[in-house]
């Protein structure tokens, strides 16, 4: 299928979206993220991983200091700042790709932008903190708006929809309109339908299969299927032993979910294992552009 193309220009950065899959590498500077929590929550390990992801070919590095896994509890503003700001300050001088700050707090986003970050990734779609929209508008930076039913603490407690795609599409359209009214340039808005955030296995599969409903809104679309529990749930049905997020079979499942997402129109895919995904999506891009 034909994927709408966008050029994202901000500061010294330029991203061409649509002609090839844009890879966002995940750096969780947290002790409790669902996949790699605790692996990169020291300054040294976070810096090393950030450099590795950039070297592997990531186009964006997404850094977060508060886990958004199901049933995760919020952390204090100071704790989040302590986890991410030193990492951003150093990495922004060492790598040549843009850094996005994964946060719902405007104070954390402001400090991150001052430290060298260039994108705001807000899983609450500017709802959690009223000051976030004004900050994104003032700084003129790309802003990722995500759909989530509930909060990380509650989102996986029997999520239910009357019309999944209609509700997600309507919500994202409304949040994009809100962002524009607050002064955020349309060219700076990226939509994320929030795979795994308040959605069952069946919901996630429908979301991927009908992703064109989101791309038709006229904004770049980000998908983050990497190592998500819906992949593990599908594979676990066929296995005699449980498959966790770091199992190689989950990684294979991630490749399949990424392929489906890109073929269905995703412009950006947010992943843990950039090295595998970058080679994988180059072949997908070649097929799509043939």
Q: What is the pLDDT of residues 157-214, one digit of tens each?
A: 667 899 999 999 999 999 999 999 999 999 999 999 999 999 999 999 999 999 999 9
Where in the sequence is the domain holding 104, given as residue range(s)?
6-288
Position 73 scores a pLDDT of 73
Strand (E) positions, 177-252? 189-192, 222-223
Q: At what angle do helices 43-56 and 274-288 cross, to 10 degrees?
A: 20
* CA 158 to mean position of chain CA atoms: 23
Residue 213, domain member (yes or no):
yes
Position 243 scores a pLDDT of 87
Q: What domain count does the chain have?
A: 1
Position 70 scores a pLDDT of 67
Mean pLDDT of 4-28: 96
Distance CA 132, CA 191 (A): 16
Residue 177, domain member (yes or no):
yes
Residue 91, domain member (yes or no):
yes
CATH at residue 269: 3.20.20.20
Residue 120, domain member (yes or no):
yes
99-141 residue pLDDT tens:
999 999 999 999 999 999 999 999 999 999 999 999 999 999 9
Residue 116, domain member (yes or no):
yes
pTM for the model stands at 0.93
Mean pLDDT of 228-255: 89
Give Cβ neighbours of residue 57 (< 8 Å, ≥ 6 apart): 23, 274, 275, 278
Bridge partner residues of 28 (DSSP) = 64
Residue 60 Rama label (left phi>0; alpha psi -120 to 50; beta): beta
Distance separating the N- and C-terminal Cα atoms of the chain: 11
Residue 236, domain member (yes or no):
yes
Query: If you average pLDDT over every residue of the chain, what do you get?
Result: 92
Residue 1, domain member (yes or no):
no
Residue 106, domain member (yes or no):
yes
In three-state secondary structure terms, 108 is: helix
Catalytic residue among 69, 83, 139, 228: 228
Position 72 scores a pLDDT of 62
Catalytic residue among 93, 270, 282, 288: 270
Query: Would you say residue 1 has pLDDT above 90?
Result: no
Residue 270 designated active-site: yes
């Amino acid at each position: 299928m034909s994927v709408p193309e966008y050029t994202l220009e901000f500061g010294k950065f330029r991203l061409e979206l649509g002609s090839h899959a844009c890879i966002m590498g995940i750096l969780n500077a947290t002790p409790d993220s669902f996949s790699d929590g605790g692996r990169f929550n020291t300054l040294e390990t976070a810096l090393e991983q950030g450099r590795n992801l950039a070297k592997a070919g990531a186009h964006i590095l997404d850094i977060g200091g508060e886990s958004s896994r199901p049933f995760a509890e919020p952390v204090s503003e100071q704790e989040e700042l302590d986890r991410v700001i030193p990492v951003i300050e150093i990495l922004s001088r060492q790598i040549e790709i843009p850094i996005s700050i994964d946060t719902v707090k405007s104070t954390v986003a402001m400090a991150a932008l001052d430290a060298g970050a260039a994108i705001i990734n807000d899983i609450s779609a500017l709802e959690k903190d009223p000051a976030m929209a004004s900050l994104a508008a003032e700084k003129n930076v790309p802003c990722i708006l995500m759909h989530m039913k509930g909060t990380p603490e509650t989102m996986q407690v029997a999520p239910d929809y009357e019309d999944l795609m209609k509700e997600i599409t309507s919500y994202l359209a409304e949040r994009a309109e809100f962002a524009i009214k607050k002064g955020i340039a349309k060219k700076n808005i990226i939509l994320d339908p929030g795979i795994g955030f308040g959605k069952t296995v069946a919901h996630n599969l429908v979301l991927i299969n009908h992703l064109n409903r989101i791309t038709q809104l006229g904004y770049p679309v980000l998908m983050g299927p990497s190592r998500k529990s819906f992949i593990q749930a599908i594979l676990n049905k066929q296995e005699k032993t449980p498959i966790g997020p770091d199992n190689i079979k989950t990684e294979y499942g991630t490749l399949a979910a990424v392929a489906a997402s890109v073929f269905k129109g995703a412009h950006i895919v947010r992943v843990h294992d950039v090295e595998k995904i970058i080679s994988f999506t180059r072949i997908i891009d070649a097929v799509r552009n043939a």
